[in-house]
Each structure stands twice: as C-alpha cells, then as structure tokens.
Amino acid sequence: MLTSRLPDWVEPYKLAARAERLEGLVALDGFARLAEQVGAQRGDCSVWLDFAIDAQGRREIHGRLKAELQLPCRRCLLPMTQQVESDFRLGMVTSDALAAELPSTHEPVLVENEQLNLLETVEDELILSLPQSVYHDEAQCSVSSDQLSSGEAAESSAPAAVSPFEVLRRLKGKP
C-alpha cells in the first residue's frame, strides 16, 4: 500500500536518465477539472510512474493509476462508487509540434523548462479513464426505467438522452 505523496512537480529528464520509479498518492480533492465533470471527490489516487529512455531515445513514462471515485448515475444522478484504473504510456515533448511525431502508443505530455506538472498529468489521465456512462442496477436506482421510457412521467423525470449535467441544472433551478 502506498503512503507517501507524489510531488507536484518533477524533473522528468533526470528521472528518465536514471530510470527511476515514482509512486505515491495524490489527493483527489485537488482536481478541479475532474470535479467539474463528475462532482467533487474525496480520498486519494494511487499512482505508479516508471521513467525511462526507450530504444529510439524517446523519454517516456509508463504509468498506472487507481482510484475509487463517486460518479453520478446517468439515470438518477446520485453518486455511485466506481473503481477507475488506467495503464498508460506518455511521451515527453517540449512542444505541440513534437507531439505529432509520437507513435500512437504514447500520449504526449508537455515538459517546459525541464519541469513536468505531475498533478496535472495525473488529473488528465484520470479524466481520460472515466467510464463513458455509469448506471445503478435497476433495482438500486432511484429512477426506474419505466419512468424514463413513458411520456407520462416527463414532468418529474428527464429523458435518458439528456445529459446528467443538464438534468442537474434543472433540479437545482427548482425552488
């Protein structure tokens, strides 16, 4: 189990040259962009990062992350616990132009002045790994699929195609 915290910033070229591994926790409540998408989160994300220089001389990071998130059910919007995991390869680039030269196996990560914003990188990766849509089992969901499919309940429930954020806005708008 991880107990240490990851630093906010690292010097990735040095870490790659020494083939170092960084592992640690990142607090989920610091991720504002993630919160915008799926609501505020608590707890930690576990992260493992292996820095390396590959056979082509590219500096890369092979990473893995794991977190327990509370994601809104698309039907009733109540949060449900979901395990999110991701395995990823990042290629370090110093400009957008260089990002285009990376093989499709690697996602570009921008290094400026030899510094890498680790928190932003982990947040990006976490957002990319969010499941497309999350639903309770019907028995546990507070909105039944009958309510959704019949037009009669239109006033009290939203059609399935409407985005959960739109529904949330409507709910919040109610007196």
- Closer Cβ to Zn ion, 113 or 172, answer by number: 172
Question: Cα separation of 27 and 34, whole Å?
Answer: 12
- Closer Cβ to Zn ion, 15 or 76, answer by number: 76
Q: Is 16 in the site for Zn ion (CB under 5 A)?
A: no
Structure letter (DSSP) for residue 113 = T
Report in angstroms how near the CB of residue 152 gets to Zn ion at its nearest: 20
Tokens of 35: 């919160």
Task: Check if the beta carbon of residue 82 is closer than 8 Å to that of residue 71.
Answer: yes
Residues 49-88 that bind Zn ion (CB under 5 A): 73, 75-76
Report in angstroms how near the CB of residue 128 gets to Zn ion at its nearest: 24
Report in angstroms how near the CB of residue 33 gets to Zn ion at its nearest: 24
Q: Give the count of residues interacting with Zn ion (CB under 5 A).
A: 5
Show the beta-strand stretches assigned E in the chain: 9-10, 21-27, 44-53, 59-72, 79-93, 107-110, 116-117
Report in angstroms how near the CB of residue 84 gets to Zn ion at its nearest: 18
- Closer Cβ to Zn ion, 102 or 167, answer by number: 167
Residue 162: CB atoms within 10 A of its CB come to 12
- Closer Cβ to Zn ion, 89 or 136, answer by number: 136
Nearest to 15 by CA among 63, 66, 64: 63
Residues 95-154 that bind Zn ion (CB under 5 A): 136, 141
Tokens of 21: 């591994």
Give the binding site for Zn ion (CB under 5 A).
Answer: 73, 75-76, 136, 141
